[in-house]
Amino acid sequence: MSTHEPAQPGPAGPEPVEPEADELHWRRVHPVTPLVRGWAVVGAAIVILGQQSLEGGPRGGLIALLSGEYWWTLLAALAAVALVGWGYSVLAWRMTSFAIGEETVHLRRGILFRQQRHARLDRLQSVDIRQPLVARFFGLCELTLETAGGTDSGVAIGFLKGSDADELRAELLARAAGLKVARAGGAVPAPAPDGTAAPQDAVLPAAPRPDGTHPAPEPGPAAAPGAPVTLEAPQVPVLTVPVGRLIASVVRSGAMITLLVWALAVVVVMFATGEWAVLSASLPAVLGAGGYLFGRLTGEFDFRVAISPDGVRLRHGMLETRSQTIPPGRVQAVRLVQSVLWRGRDWWRVQVNVAGYGGDSEDKNSVLLPVGTRDEALTVLSLVLPDLGVDEPRRVLDAGLDGDSRTPSAYVTAPRRTRILDPVAWRRNGFTVTGRALLLRRGRMVKILDVVPHERTQSLGLSQGPWQRRLGVASFQVHSTEGPVHPEAPHLDAADAARLMAEQARRARTARAAAGPERWMERQGE
């Protein structure tokens, strides 16, 4: 049996009024973009030609082909592919342009099939600046806007100079926050709701402190008419993940243990049978696991967290650097997870659901903290949910991270009769409700605590299998946007689950009705 109750959405805002497309100022991306994108085609061609030469070439493989009479054919084929790839990239560059309106970002692209995409700034979920390895040699970046339109709803503008990408990100975040950006580059506050003019001195709030409190803003001097005003909001560094801890966390991961066990088994079988073919047959699996671990290290290298009026700012990456900005209120759900191999160090990993990032459970965009101590994990949680709505938030969170049914707490836990369904973790399964969020915990070998703000509840569900019906229990789910966080409290008493579903639907409607506008600077100005 499965029931499903959607949370009632709030009133939709008015559609933005944009000028005609011909009235917008259309701009092209950097002219070196074709060279950066063309390298992907050349690299793929080198891999394919090398593989084909090794498999179907003359005896001796690629080296013999290059030293033979027809060596020039391989180089000519590679040059032809490079010319086609770069030529196509040049045409794509000429057909790509973007424009920034008051309420919307526009992107035109396509050679044979023309596309025009629009991203509403009031639906902006995050702004990312990505810098691949080849683009770093030219000082170029790609700017991506993720909107609340599901998977593949973002708009990618690339490539741009690093300074231009930073300025464009600041402008887009200022517009999304409710500031009016002048053509000369200045920013003035949006008009008041009653139609009165905004004051001349724009007051940008100072960056919030790591504990979530906001210092009082101080007005700056009035800018001269026509003078550019910086749009880059100040930021306060919160923490940096040490490289040694990141390496140790990867070594202590389940993927590394699996890789080592698999490699040991292959070596034992190889020496026992004397067949070296076992090594070549196992090579793809080893390369796959090794590639995953290498991606974890390079993708989360030098992970930095900061806070600003624009939201949470993340920066990480070794070969490809990525700067993310998640505006206030855009996080749909948060997960704190700890594997059994991290328990001795009390390390935790923090992941989030953000609309538009997609559903990859290990998506590097959805990591708020790759590995950190308990205090660091709770600090990062406070950046996206400063007020938990309870008098002693640390006690409630500690009970969610470590507690079970034997520990006195506010959590409603699964009944004892569910131990036949989950003999290891049945004491951990439970939930509690605070004034601002719903907290759900589960897992013993891998401890999980999911936190869902009431206003971000998308829909609710109950599921009950045959054994659950016989035992009078049911599993409760909160349906969030796509991402690594899937909030669930398994095997609750059926009466507790039904009551939680009804009350949480009411709380979600009330919280969404009381929530401020999507433009967070307008909310602060009320």
User: What pLDDT was estimated at residue 5?
Assistant: 52
Position 86 pLDDT exceeds 70 = yes
CA angle 72, 77, 82 (to 5 degrees): 125
Position 223 pLDDT exceeds 60 = no
Strand partners of residue 325: 127, 313
User: What pLDDT was estimated at residue 21?
Assistant: 56
Binned at pLDDT 50, 70 and 90, residue 520 comes out as low
Position 67 pLDDT exceeds 70 = no
Which of 393, 392, 435, 440 minimizes the C-alpha distance to 412?
A: 440
Instruction: Give the mean pLDDT of 409-430.
Output: 93
Position 464 pLDDT exceeds 90 = yes
As a whole number of angstroms, the distance between CA 71 and CA 93 comes to: 33
As a whole number of angstroms, the distance between CA 62 and CA 42 comes to: 17
Binned at pLDDT 50, 70 and 90, residue 113 comes out as confident
As a whole number of angstroms, the distance between CA 155 and CA 106 comes to: 8
Q: Both tokens of residue 259?
A: 């890789």
Hey, how many other C-beta atoms are within 10 angstroms of the C-beta on 102?
Answer: 12
User: What pLDDT was estimated at residue 70?
Assistant: 60
User: What pLDDT was estimated at residue 414?
Assistant: 94
User: What pLDDT was estimated at residue 431?
Assistant: 96
Position 197 pLDDT exceeds 50 = no
176 CB contacts (<8 Å, ≥6 apart)? Answer: 121, 122, 124, 327, 519
As a whole number of angstroms, the distance between CA 491 and CA 131 comes to: 45
As a whole number of angstroms, the distance between CA 259 and CA 410 comes to: 41
Q: How many residues does the chain have?
A: 526
Position 323 pLDDT exceeds 50 = yes
pLDDT tens-digit map of 358-391: 655 456 689 999 999 999 999 999 999 988 999 8
Of all residues in the chain, what percent carry a pLDDT higher than 90?
40
User: What pLDDT was estimated at residue 247?
Assistant: 96
Position 507 pLDDT exceeds 70 = yes
Are the CB atoms for 187 and 174 separated by under 8 Å?
yes
* Pairing verdict, β 447-453 and 437-442: antiparallel
For residue 183, CA distances in Å to 108, 204, 525 come to 21, 19, 23
User: What pLDDT was estimated at residue 123?
Assistant: 84
Q: Which 3-state string (H, E, C) describes 216-285? A: CCCCCCCCCCCCCCCCCCCCEEEEECCHHHHHHHHHCCHHHHHHHHHHHHHHHHHHHHCCCHHHHHHHHH
Which range has the worst mean pLDDT, 68-77, 256-265, 368-377?
68-77
Binned at pLDDT 50, 70 and 90, residue 348 comes out as very high
User: What pLDDT was estimated at residue 13?
Assistant: 47
Binned at pLDDT 50, 70 and 90, residue 203 comes out as very low
pLDDT, the chain, mean: 80
Q: What are phi and psi of 495, to 5 degrees?
A: -65, -40
User: What pLDDT was estimated at residue 186?
Assistant: 43
Instruction: Give the mean pLDDT of 110-132.
Output: 86
Q: What's the distance, CA 495 to chain centroid?
A: 36
As a whole number of angstroms, the distance between CA 474 and CA 495 comes to: 9
Q: Is the peptide bond before 159 cis (omega within 30 degrees of 0)?
A: yes
Hey, how many other C-beta atoms are within 10 angstroms of the C-beta on 329?
Answer: 19
Binned at pLDDT 50, 70 and 90, residue 285 comes out as confident
134 CB contacts (<8 Å, ≥6 apart)? Answer: 36, 39
pLDDT tens-digit map of 235-251: 899 999 999 999 999 99
282 vs 25: which has the higher pLDDT? 25
222 CB contacts (<8 Å, ≥6 apart)? Answer: 200, 201
Instruction: Give the mean pLDDT of 68-97.
Output: 78
User: What pLDDT was estimated at residue 11?
Assistant: 45
Nearest-10 Cα torsion for 275, 277, 279, 283: -170
272 vs 301: which has the higher pLDDT? 301
Instruction: Give the mean pLDDT of 417-444.
Output: 94
Are the CB atoms for 501 and 3 separated by under 8 Å?
yes
86 vs 45: which has the higher pLDDT? 86
pLDDT tens-digit map of 481-500: 888 999 999 999 999 999 99
287 CB contacts (<8 Å, ≥6 apart)? Answer: none
